[in-house]
Amino acid sequence: MIFSETKLQNAFIIEIEKIEDERGFFARTWDKDIFIEKGLDYEFIQSSISRNSKKGTFRGMHYQAEPFDETKIVRCTKGKIFDIIIDLRSNSKSFKEWFSIELTNENHKMLYIPKGFAHGFQTLEDNSEVLYQISKRYKPEFARGVRWDDPKFGIKLPLNISVISPKDLSYDYLKEE
């Protein structure tokens, strides 16, 4: 597994190292010892999948508040997505900065998203699926979100939004203390 730092503090792109032969390939996608060695969260207690029928669908920008804030590893298992994270940790050097990456079923890249980040994505193909490994149980009463189009962030989506939930449209702009 190859870990590459993003421009956001403590967020990583994870790439697989393929062992290929005439059958195809084999690759490790998870190794607790490597995560411990790198000082990253390694306790993932839940996996979830998101299926998105229509190209241009937008989900986000979601996070959970303390004490149920989550670390996530996200991977696109079918199709293609424009994955986005925002650093919402007020004590971070990269506070309010965002990062995006194209995740596809062909590039096999994953994104490690630490606690304190909002996460969202836009589908770039019909019938895209996203797999999540999550460090905490989902608690609806701690679910939060911020608007992807908040001018503080300046996020530019690659496509017009075709589908978005009323809940995602209801989020406020980031409140600063």
| Gyration radius of the chain's alpha carbons | 16
User: What DSSP character marks residue 66?
Assistant: T
Based on the residue annotation, tell me whether 108 is a catalytic residue of this protein: no
Q: Is 6 helix (H, G, I), strand (E, B) or coil?
A: coil
Q: Pick the catalytic residue: 62, 63, 112, 171?
A: 62
Going by the DSSP 8-state scheme, the letter that residue 135 receives in this structure is S
Query: Among the options 63, 119, 132, 138, which is catalytic?
Result: 132
Q: How far apart are CA 50 and CA 52, in angstroms?
A: 6
Q: Are residues 80 and 159 in contact, defined by beta-carbon separation less than 8 angstroms?
A: no
Active site residue 62: yes
Which of the residues are catalytic?
A: 62, 132
